Amino acid sequence: MKFLKGLILILFFISCNNNGNDNNYNEEESEDIILDPQGTQYATWIMIWNRSSEDWWNPYNTVGATILVNNRWQAINWMDKYQVEEHVKNMREAGVTILICDLTNGWNWLNNDVHYIQSLCVKNGMKVCIAENSYGDVSMFESHAYDVWHNFAKPDSPYGSTYLRKEGEPVIVCYGIREWYNAYKSSNGDYAKKFNLVWASGEDSDINKWGWQLEPWIGSVPSQDAMFVTSSIKWGVNDEDWRKSLAFLDYNFLLAKQNHPKYIIIGGYDDIHERNGWLPANTFDCIPGRQMRDKNGVISVDAYYSRVKEWISGTPTSISGGYITDGCYRIISKANGKIFNHQGNKGKIGPILIRNAPSDEGLADYYWFYHLGNNNYRIISVSSGLSLDLNNESPQDDAIIIHNLDGDTPTQKWILEDAGNGCFFIKNNFSGKVLQIKEKSDMIIQSVKNEDLIQKWKIEKIVSIS
């Protein structure tokens, strides 16, 4: 269900003590914390529901993923305050200074849990705001706004100085469809009017969005106010329609950093079930689409966490010396101008298609290149999160090239060779054969290199890290 979000991350245990209400509201205090040299602040979503109170909770893993707490691999349990402390500690170390407390699945977790998170924010110099879901009910939203004001945002409320203010007003993140959000903004409720309302949803990409998903054919929408970034690709509701992609995270983060918005909101910190999680986690036992993999295609406990830290610090790592730098490109045939494309497959595993003109689903034409050294690259469809791969590891001529789930395999590694006039041969590391267009077809195959134009490709930069 789109409003249900699972939880997971790997945590390294360092305990913190709650000293209680040791911080009073100061009207002269700056409303925001700004660390980024461009003035950008970084936020992320944090769940606060009680995992082990649910009858479906598994103490050993969450959909195959585990986290490290007190030197033991286990499932998320929000009733364990050590885990909450480690969430906050790791977020702060990554450079996040705003926590969006997710109450969209239930208002009954409001007080004790959020107050505890606020006490941790006091110690870590962070801000907090609340995300809620009133399902379009304006009266319910007014009730929620009342609760937030009196418990968290009012100047004399406990830890009131930690509550995020935007343009002088406390923030509520409204999770739901646009129609609901607009109804809340149009409300004349006394408490609704006290807040600066921002929008989040599980579906649409749109400007100034604060979460929870992005449409994979659109991605993050440029803005100088707020941009949402995530590693999660969602084409549908079934397991095979979801996946995590480091390339999708990199594309959206690069776009966001170029626009210098006031806020960059990073997908859910602790949500492995819907693929939003970016914190360290052992995902080895997850289904392939949920596994966290690095740029080499290797399962990694910290690839996403390290990458977020690099982006926040402004220095994402890449390997120099290749013909092209890490970034987003279009792959265009020298012979006929046709473009690599994922249109029609809706993010599913299968053959690469080419088309005569750019797609109206913009990101369907975009591929992320990771340089692995010596002009070896992994090439990943931005909109699907699937890698270019050799079908069935076939060494034969005419074997088709497909989009496939990330893997640490030579069939997903490609060598760029200079073909002259700004073009390249794209040679498979496993077979030693190059990409070409199949005769009288819209599919891509491999063949022995022969200098034919149908084997030469222009790689057109959209945006790159350097």
According to DSSP, the β-strands at 434-437 and 444-447 are antiparallel
**Paired sense of beta strands 367-373 and 67-69, if any:** unpaired
**SS3 of residue 144 by DSSP:** helix
Residue 50 has a pLDDT of 63
Contact 337/356 with Cβ under 8 angstroms? yes
What is the per-residue pLDDT across 199-256, written as a single tens digit (0 to 9) for each? Answer: 999 888 999 999 989 999 999 999 999 999 999 998 887 777 889 999 999 999 999 9
d(CA 348, CA 178): 28
Eight-state DSSP code of residue 152: I
For position 5, what pLDDT does the model report?
Answer: 34
Q: In sequence order, which ranges of 298-357 are alpha helices (DSSP H)? A: 303-313
Pinpoint the alpha helices (H) of 302-345. 303-313
Transcribe 391-427 into DSSP letters: GGG--STTPBEEEE---S-GGG-EEEEEEETTEEEEE
Length of the chain: 466
Question: What per-residue confidence (pLDDT) applies to 55?
Answer: 80
Place of tokens 């599980």: 202
d(CA 100, CA 390): 42
Mark the ranges of the chain whose per-residue pLDDT is less than 70.
Answer: 1-37, 49-50, 111, 273, 343-345
Q: How far apart are CA 162 and CA 152, in angstroms?
A: 8
Residue 233, token pair as written in the block? 């690709």
Say how far apart CA 346 and CA 362 lie, in whole Å: 13
Among 450, 264, 404, 236, smallest CA distance to 435 is for 450
Q: 32 φ, ψ to 5°?
A: -135, 160
Q: Please tell me whether the overall predicted TM-score, pTM, comes out greater than 0.85 for this model.
A: yes
> What is the spatial distance between Cα 28 and Cα 396, in angstroms, rounded to a whole number?
71
Chain-centroid distance of CA 84 in Å reads 21
Burial 265-296 (b: 16+ CB within 10 A, else e): bbbbbbbbbbbbbbbbbbbeebebbbbbbbbb
pLDDT at position 13: 28
Show Cβ contacts of residue 83 under 8 Å, excluding neighbours closer than 6 positions: 11, 67, 69, 76, 77
Q: Is the dihedral of CA 109, 110, 116, 121 positive or negative?
A: positive
Q: Which of 391, 386, 395, 380 is nearest to 444 (CA)?
A: 391
